[in-house]
Amino acid sequence: MVMTTTAAQIEGWLEAVKDPEIPVISIKELGILQSVDVDGDVVTVNIIPTYSGCPAMYAIKEDITAALAARQITNPNIKIHNAPAWTTDMISESGREKMHAYGIAPPVARGHAVACPLCHSKNTEVISQFGSTACKALYRCLDCAEPFDHFKCHAPIL
Amino acid sequence: MDAQHLYPYFLRLADTSMTMSQRLSEWCGHGPYLEEDVALTNVALDTMGHANLFYQLAVEVADDDVTVDDLAFLRDAHDYRNPLLTELPRGDFAYTMMKQYFVDVYALLLYRALTESCYQPLSDVAKKALIEVQYHHERSHEWLKRLCMSTEEAHQKMQKALDDLWFYTPELFETDAGIQALHEQGTAPDMSVIQSEWSSMVETHLAQCQLILPETGWVATGGLQGEHSEHLGYMLAEMQFLQRAYPGCEW
Ligand SMILES: [Zn+2]
């Protein structure tokens, strides 16, 4: 391994690792990738799961390993942490924009209307509280009739 | 910190989530309509995630070299510590939602209290699980209202579910000397406080749904001591079959 590799460089390389369920957004933009530590030869990647039962964590671990192997970093120490608890506030602005462009309405604060990703109307209604995955709900636009996924707000109710 | 009390406590929490999740997952492909089928199984997935987190905590304090999978798939019914409520057959949709509502309110109040636990790993897990449980609770709370306020038949089915399940609920709050010791150390909350909060929330909602609490019934007990109904054995036979038949098998 090249000893001059910095944590910031590795974090940059990991931009290539996308969320398996929303393949346009990186795990960094989604808030899954928390930090990278470099200590001599040992690279530690700290990640947190989105939902407790998220089945994508195994795929994400494998994707991180593959992305680092492409940079001649082998045997990374990938640690899955239970804290901090992931919330949708950890999704970056660029992540939200890409999500919207991909056709998924990004999270909104509780009680706020969800805008249609196609026509931007806020005249929408929920069809189902769960969509294709645990993190999404199914909506319908009442103006353009588009059915769409909404990435639900995931944060503690205070 | 006293691992002697932590280990069975984490199993209590994990087994409760595991059995809830397994019963919910039985709805896969049998939901009343597609979206609800997807919702039930997503709640099952979240809940299995909670079981996994609590089993991890148990593994960290275990005397022996065990794994999360060993705890879920290689223990017999008498080693499970869930309350009898969560092992009951899934029944019809009314029965499933009534049970879900009872357990959601319980988990909401318990996990919220556990976020204050002085045992940091438990507090971390509780913070994570609480966010999901809040959403589950919103859902089952709304379903109860919808079912009770719809047709006469739906209301009757909900009343029947309440009659059958009500006396299984006190067991959720049972404690033993170990849980009491954890409470005194600041690791676990006072379950009598959780129970009174639960009763107040649940009874208010049931009254709004125009459901009537049954007056008498057999009060379930035994899960904390590993004394279960025959239903748990059948559930585990199905859930554990693969690991028992093909030890160490992985996807
Ligand atoms: Zn629209």
Dist. CA A62–CA A52, nearest whole Å: 18
A52, A79, A86, A154: best to mutate for the B interface, most B CBs within 10 A: A52
- In this prediction, residue B107 carries a pLDDT of 98
Q: Which residues of A108-122 are buried (b: 16+ CB within 10 A; e: fewer)?
A: beeeeebbbbeeeee
The pLDDT assigned to B251 comes to 74
Distance (Å, rounded) from C-alpha A151 to C-alpha A131?
9
The answer to whether the CB atoms of A55 and B45 lie below 8 A apart is yes
Q: What is the Å distance from ligand 1's center to A101 Cα? A: 14
Residue B211 has pLDDT above 60, yes or no: yes
Name the percent of chain B lying above pLDDT 90: 94
B250, part of any domain = no
pLDDT of residue A158: 74
- Whether residue B120 is contained in a domain is answered as yes
- Write out chain B residues lying below 8 Å of A158, CB-based: none
Q: What is the pLDDT of residues B135-176, one digit of tens each?
A: 999 999 999 999 999 999 999 999 999 999 999 999 999 999
Residue A85 is nearest to which of B42, B50, B127, comparing CB atoms?
A: B127
What residue type is B203 in one-letter code? E
Question: Dihedrals φ, ψ of A39, to 5°?
Answer: -130, 95
Contacts of A64 (CB under 8 A, 6+ apart): A14, A17, A27, A45, A47, A76, A78
The tally of domains found in chain B comes to 1
- What CATH architecture applies to the domain A7-86? 2-Layer Sandwich (3.30)
> 3-state DSSP call for residue B19?
helix
Query: pTM for this one?
Result: 0.95
On whether residue B88 sits in a domain, the answer given is yes
| Residue ranges making up the domain that contains B191 | 3-245
* Longest pairwise C-alpha distance within chain A: 58
Q: Where are the domains of chain A?
A: 7-86, 103-151
Q: Is B25 on the interface with A (CB under 8 A)?
A: no
Q: What's the Cα-to-Cα distance from B153 to each of A83, A122, B157, rounded to whole Å?
A: 46, 36, 6
Domain CATH for B189:
1.20.1260.10
State residue A110's pLDDT score: 83
CA distance B136 to B104: 7
Q: How far apart are CA B111 and CA A57, in angstroms?
A: 23
Give ipTM to 2 decimals. Answer: 0.90
Q: What integer pLDDT is reported at residue A54 of this predicted model?
A: 86
C-alpha dihedral sign at A142, A147, A153, A158: positive
In a domain, B251, yes or no: no
Residue B2 has pLDDT above 80, yes or no: no
pLDDT one-digit tens code per residue, A58-72: 899 999 999 999 999
The H or E element containing residue A157 is none
- Structure tokens given for B26: 């039985």
Q: Which pLDDT belongs to residue B55?
A: 98
Pick out chain A residues at pLDDT < 70: 1-3
What pLDDT shows up at residue B91? 97
Please state, in angstroms and rounded to a whole number, the distance separating the CA atoms of residues B8 and A152. Answer: 35
- The predicted pLDDT at position B1 comes to 57
- For residue B220, being part of any structural domain is answered with yes
Residue A85, pLDDT score: 96
Contact A131 B38 (CB under 8 A): yes
- Taking CB atoms and an 8 Å cutoff, what residues of chain A touch B56? 82
| Percent of chain A predicted with pLDDT > 70 | 98
With CB atoms and an 8 Å threshold, state whether A127 touches B45: no
